């Protein structure tokens, strides 16, 4: 393609509305333009990149025997009511009525539609397994769309679904996807971690997320050098032990006037937060539940929900807490509490002689020993923090922000049971299908690649997903010698099968170099009057900014060899 004839609206200034580097650069390099909050138009360069990304995805999905479908985004509400997710997604789903007053919605994902097809057609275990996928638009009415292409209201997903007779079949389908995802993200040139994940609204038990650690992400992931990684909603850790004083004295109250927070108590007593028991009160399905954590730890509501097996919970009001404890917030504790379930984080198990609220205003207790002075159910309830110890190898964990590229779920029979999707097993018994669901955010592959590969001048995408392999820059188009050499090199590079963007514009060399640096193409070949007189051209590698001279005759072959060596 000739730059003089294509639409690449580059911007010199950093757009004021953009914060994430990927957002700034995709706007500056003329890849995308915003249409509405969370809705973007993908222009020429973005679409070329997306076509390369989706081609890689297709090849790897086809390789595991998955079959490509294309389902409508426009769905009848009935399908989603059957699974119970019409209400569950709430306002996140675009919902409206058609002209006949039927409730309609736009697909957030496609478990319901795929299950609906399977239940009507698959009759026997002999037809299993089935792996179905599509690359298609999804819609989410995000409350706060932001960060350019990281949180969109319309986006492209590869989503696939596996249907098996039983759990062993699902294990195989899941592993195939897991391996295919590794190949896809490797081929796209991304550095990523595979994190244990929480299944959330999808249902099911086992799931993994493919995450790219970057400051522009919205998920939090705990990572260890040994290979352990987990979404913070799911991450576990062990904590360095805290030394408790010895002795078996009974709890003893002491006055703490005005000392309400753990920080207050640390200053007041001179003891560390790790020596305190923090007391929280929640109301779960209208019953009070007391939650205990080490003073310096924070509660994970995701873990709490999973322990409670309920999503109907909230922090108690000050009045509700007073009714249960007989004291105001700041002096609550577990000793003597009756009529409430008490949940304690595992880090309190085996501790002794700790400090906590006395259930009397402006008073605390010392010498409180869990198990002796109160009993509790122990569970993993706390948010993992940087420096906590890895459960696999014992080394310190790092907690990092990350972008989720893909997510694989073992759904099990959550949808097939709700929607009555059954098959006959080898004994002629009707059994529900066992399902998996697997997603990749196509835009996130591009945005993550930009986040990982940019500098002040622009971006340098991995060749596999860059819109072009090389920009051929004729520095002086008004020079007849440069022009004719560039035209003939353009033809040679194309004949080699390379994707070439020929910068044949009548612009100053500086403008051309700036644009080429910006738009994410991994190589630039430059022909200028001076070097051409010696029979030379330049090969410039965008990521390192290194320049190599090459003889004009051998230049195309030299570039091809460099590209091959990088693949």
- Strands of the sheet with 74-76, listed across from one edge: 74-76, 103-106, 95-97
Number of residues that bind Zn ion (CB under 5 A): 6
- Cα–chain-centroid distance for residue 262? 33
Is 298 a binding residue for Zn ion by CB under 5 A? The answer is no
Question: Which one, 93 or 239, has the nearer CB to Zn ion?
Answer: 239
CB of 221 vs Zn ion, minimal distance in Å: 14
CB of 194 vs Zn ion, minimal distance in Å: 14
Q: For Zn ion, what does the binding mask look like between residues 372 and 411, x meaning CB under 5 A?
A: ------------------x-xx------------------
CB-CB contact of 223 with 193 (8 Å): yes
- Cα–chain-centroid distance for residue 533? 52
Query: In angstroms, what is the C-alpha Rg of the chain?
Result: 30
Region from 158-166, 217-225, 468-476, 479-487 binding Zn ion, contact rule CB under 5 A: 217-225
By CB under 5 A, what part of segment 402-461 binds Zn ion? none
Structure tokens at 460: 């340098």
CB-CB contact of 94 with 105 (8 Å): yes
Region from 18-26, 121-129, 224-232, 466-474 binding Zn ion, contact rule CB under 5 A: 224-232
Question: Which one, 318 or 393, has the nearer CB to Zn ion?
Answer: 393
CB of 237 vs Zn ion, minimal distance in Å: 10
The count of C-alpha atoms lying within 13 angstroms of the C-alpha of 289, restricted to the half-sphere facing its C-beta, is: 18
CB-CB contact of 155 with 42 (8 Å): no
Indicate left, alpha or beta for 474 from its phi (over 0: left) and psi (-120 to 50: alpha). Answer: beta
Question: Which one, 224 or 402, has the nearer CB to Zn ion?
Answer: 224
The count of C-alpha atoms lying within 13 angstroms of the C-alpha of 293, restricted to the half-sphere facing its C-beta, is: 20
Which residues are CB-contacts of 171 (< 8 A; sequence separation ≥ 6)?
A: none
Question: Which one, 135 or 197, has the nearer CB to Zn ion?
Answer: 197
CB of 389 vs Zn ion, minimal distance in Å: 8
Question: Which one, 393 or 557, has the nearer CB to Zn ion?
Answer: 393
CB of 213 vs Zn ion, minimal distance in Å: 16
CB-CB contact of 518 with 459 (8 Å): yes
CB of 341 vs Zn ion, minimal distance in Å: 33
Distance CA 483, CA 460 (A): 27
Structure tokens at 528: 């200028």
By CB under 5 A, what part of segment 120-139 binds Zn ion? none
Question: Which one, 11 or 393, has the nearer CB to Zn ion?
Answer: 393
Question: Which one, 40 or 228, has the nearer CB to Zn ion?
Answer: 228
CB of 392 vs Zn ion, minimal distance in Å: 4
Instruction: Give the binding site for Zn ion (CB under 5 A).
Output: 224, 226, 228, 390, 392-393
């Amino acid at each position: 393609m000739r730059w003089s004839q294509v639409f690449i609206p580059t911007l010199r200034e950093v757009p004021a509305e953009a914060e994430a580097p990927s957002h700034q650069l995709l706007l500056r390099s003329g890849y995308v333009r915003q249409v509405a909050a969370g809705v973007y138009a993908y222009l020429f360069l973005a679409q070329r990149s997306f076509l390369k990304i989706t081609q890689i995805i297709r090849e790897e999905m086809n390789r595991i025997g998955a079959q490509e479908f294309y389902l409508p985004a426009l769905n009848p509400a009935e399908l989603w009511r059957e699974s119970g997710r019409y209400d569950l997604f709430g306002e996140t789903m675009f919902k409206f009525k058609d002209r006949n007053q039927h409730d309609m919605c736009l697909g957030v994902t496609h478990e319901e539609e795929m299950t609906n097809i399977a239940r009507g057609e698959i009759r026997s275990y002999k037809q299993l397994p089935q792996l179905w996928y599509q690359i298609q638009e999804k819609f989410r009415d995000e409350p706060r769309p932001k960060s350019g292409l990281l949180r969109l209201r319309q986006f492209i997903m590869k989503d696939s679904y596996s249907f098996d007779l039983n759990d062993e079949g699902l294990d195989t389908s899941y592993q195939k996807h897991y391996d295919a995802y590794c190949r896809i993200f490797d081929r796209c040139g991304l550095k990523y971690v595979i994190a244990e994940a929480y299944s959330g609204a999808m249902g099911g038990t086992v799931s993994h997320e493919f995450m790219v650690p970057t400051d522009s992400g919205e998920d939090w992931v705990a990572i260890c050098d040994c290979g352990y990684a987990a979404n913070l909603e799911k991450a576990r850790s062990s904590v360095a032990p805290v030394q408790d004083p010895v002795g078996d004295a009974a709890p003893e109250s002491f006055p703490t006037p005005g000392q309400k927070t753990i920080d207050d108590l640390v200053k007041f007593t001179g003891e560390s937060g790790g020596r305190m028991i923090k007391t929280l009160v929640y109301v779960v399905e209208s019953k009070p539940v007391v939650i205990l954590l080490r003073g310096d730890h924070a509660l994970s509501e995701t873990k709490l929900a999973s322990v409670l097996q309920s999503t109907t919970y909230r922090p108690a009001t000050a009045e509700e807490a007073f009714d249960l404890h007989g004291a105001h917030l700041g002096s609550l504790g577990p000793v003597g509490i009756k009529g409430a379930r008490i949940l304690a984080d595992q880090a309190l198990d085996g501790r002794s002689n700790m400090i906590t609220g006395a259930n009397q205003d402006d008073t605390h207790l010392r010498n409180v020993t869990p198990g002796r002075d109160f009993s509790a159910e122990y569970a993993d309830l706390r948010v993992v923090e940087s420096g906590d110890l890895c459960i696999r190898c014992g080394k310190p964990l790092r907690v990092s922000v990350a972008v989720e590229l893909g997510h694989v779920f073992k759904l099990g029979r959550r949808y097939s049971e709700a929607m009555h999707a059954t098959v006959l097993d080898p004994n002629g018994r009707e059994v529900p299908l066992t399902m998996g669901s697997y997603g990749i955010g196509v835009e996130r592959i591009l945005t993550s690649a930009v986040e990982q590969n940019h500098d002040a001048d622009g971006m340098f995408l991995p060749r596999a997903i860059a819109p072009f392999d090389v920009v051929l820059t004729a520095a002086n188009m008004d020079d007849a010698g440069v022009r004719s050499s560039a035209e003939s090199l353009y033809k040679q590079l194309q004949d080699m099968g390379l994707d070439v963007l020929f910068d044949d514009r009548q612009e100053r060399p500086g403008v051309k170099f700036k644009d080429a640096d910006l738009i994410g193409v991994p190589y630039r070949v430059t022909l200028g009057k001076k070097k051409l007189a010696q029979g030379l051209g330049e090969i410039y590698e965008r990521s390192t900014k290194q320049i190599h001279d090459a003889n004009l005759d051998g230049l195309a072959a030299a570039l091809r060899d460099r590209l091959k060596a990088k693949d």
